[in-house]
Amino acid sequence: MPVTYHRSGLVFTEHTITVPLDHARPDGPVIEVFGREVVAADRGGRDLPWLLYLQGGPGHSAPRSPAAWLRRATRDYRVLLLDQRGTGRSTPANRRSLARLDDPAAHLRHFRADSIVRDAELFRAHLAGDRPWSVLGQSFGGFCALTYLSLAPEGLREVLIAGGLPSLTAGPEEVYRAAYPRVLAHNDRFFARYPQDQAIARRVADHLARCEELLPGGGRLTPRRFQSLGITFGGESSFDTLHHLLEEAFADEKTLSDVFLRRVDALVSYTEYPLYALLHEAAYCQGAASGWAAHRVLGEFPEFDVELGGQVRLFGEMIFPWHFEEDPALVPLRACAEELAACRSWPPLYDLERLARNEVPVSAVIYYDDMYVDRDHSLRTAGMVRDLSWWITNEYAHDGLKADVAVLDRLIAMARR
């Protein structure tokens, strides 16, 4: 019996379904996938169309707080917040659960967008029968939406994408070669806004090179782990958050503050998002291995070499082999990560011919200065998908959907043109 509760004018109902681990083997092992239905309290009795929300990631569960975009969505839809397989209240995939498996890497080959889409189709049948539903994809959720259009367009009524139009053809190496300059540009913007923070960052990096500083969650804070704080740069308020973190870095002349170490730990640990670290590069693989692409391409950008003694530059959305040596949450998964990085048998995620013939209305916003998703890649993809309307803006960062309900308003209006 589904659990239902009320909160702030919304009604939430919890659903769990059982799905095959490998959809090609429906009689094989199974896992559970969880979704939270949300409807406005004054519209609960209406026969509203369904909207599936696909969160960014990979490896992130659906949001738990009723943000403004969700309230806007419930004016028109009955929303399903999907905990994509392995996340949230779906059957977990983490260092503990994976340790119990004989072959965790083989298990995780079924946790990409293609499997998420097939889970969604089973959820649609469970909730809506044979009626198509709408999809709203944020960031990686937009990647999944294009996979949905490739694999099962008959299940879709309309598709809304916020900051999530990936390249349909670029492999991980090309993706990261385009990403590093964007990250450097965000570094430049950050240190231009807070020029005094460059000296603090240099001082922290030098201190970490000389002294052992342990994070509250375990593991040493190394200079390169400190550099991974740049992953936050893509959000609307991330510059201010990082500035306030750095201004409290030192307790005295020789010691980092407990407040700084606690907050850094929360930002650099993958305890909550191990699948992000394990599958981030695999999200771009189609028929080829990633081979630690971000690590290979890094050598082309010496600006990030913190040991040169010059300006400190922070990394963005990159996963490196050393993450699985220095983050206690990832250390047990190192062998699994190596196997996934070497895997060459990733199936295609996008059907270019089907997308070129697409008949499902698609609307997308492209963020001009998006640090996570390359603008040129997005524009190229927008031209390859039939019936896709898009607009490009520098008014928002990557989290524009969360920052301003007008983003969802416009996506809906464009899809209904």
Q: Verify that 280 and 385 share a domain, yes or no.
A: no
Q: Verify that 354 and 220 share a domain, yes or no.
A: no
Q: Report d(CA 387, CA 271) in Å as an integer.
A: 40
Catalytic residue selected from 60, 107, 377, 398: 398
Within 13 Å, how many C-alpha atoms sit on residue 284's CB side? Answer: 25
CA distances from 14 to 36, 132, 336, 399 (A): 5, 21, 32, 26
Q: Verify that 146 and 53 share a domain, yes or no.
A: yes
pLDDT tens, residue order, the chain (417 aa): 688 888 889 999 999 999 999 999 999 999 999 999 999 999 888 899 999 999 999 999 999 988 999 999 999 999 999 999 999 999 999 999 999 999 999 999 999 999 999 999 999 999 999 999 999 999 999 999 999 999 999 999 999 999 999 999 999 999 999 999 999 999 999 999 999 999 999 999 999 999 999 999 989 999 999 999 999 998 888 999 999 999 999 999 889 999 999 999 999 999 999 999 999 999 999 999 999 999 999 999 999 999 867 899 999 999 999 999 999 999 999 999 999 999 999 999 999 999 999 999 999 999 999 999 999 999 999 999 999 999 999 999 999 999 999 999 999 999 998
CATH number of the domain at 123, please: 3.40.50.1820
Looking at the structure of the chain, the number of domains it has is 2
What are the structure tokens assigned to 26, written together? 């429906």
Q: Which of 342, 360, 379 is the last residue of a domain?
A: 342
Q: Are 93 and 49 in contact (CB under 8 A)?
A: no
CA distances from 346 to 31, 108, 352 (A): 21, 11, 17
Indicate the pTM of the whole model: 0.96
**Annotated catalytic, 398?**
yes
**Annotated catalytic, 139?**
yes
The domain in which residue 286 lies consists of 172-342
Helices (H) then strands (E): counts for the chain: 18, 9
CA distances from 159 to 138, 144, 186, 388 (A): 11, 11, 30, 9
Provide the pLDDT for residue 308: 67
What are the structure tokens assigned to 302, written together? 């010496």
Catalytic residue selected from 327, 370, 374, 399: 370
Q: Verify that 267 and 400 share a domain, yes or no.
A: no
Q: Verify that 122 and 42 share a domain, yes or no.
A: yes
Q: Which of 326, 342, 358 is the last residue of a domain?
A: 342
Q: Report d(CA 64, CA 36) in Å as an integer.
A: 9
**Annotated catalytic, 65?**
no
Structural element, H or E, at residue 79: strand 78-83
Residue by residue, DSSP assigns 227-283 as HGGGGGGGSTTHHHHHHHHHTT-BSSSS-B-HHHHHHHHHHH--SS-HHHHHHTTGG
Provide the pLDDT for residue 3: 85
Catalytic residue selected from 61, 139, 150, 378: 139
Q: Verify that 357 and 324 share a domain, yes or no.
A: no
Provide the pLDDT for residue 116: 98
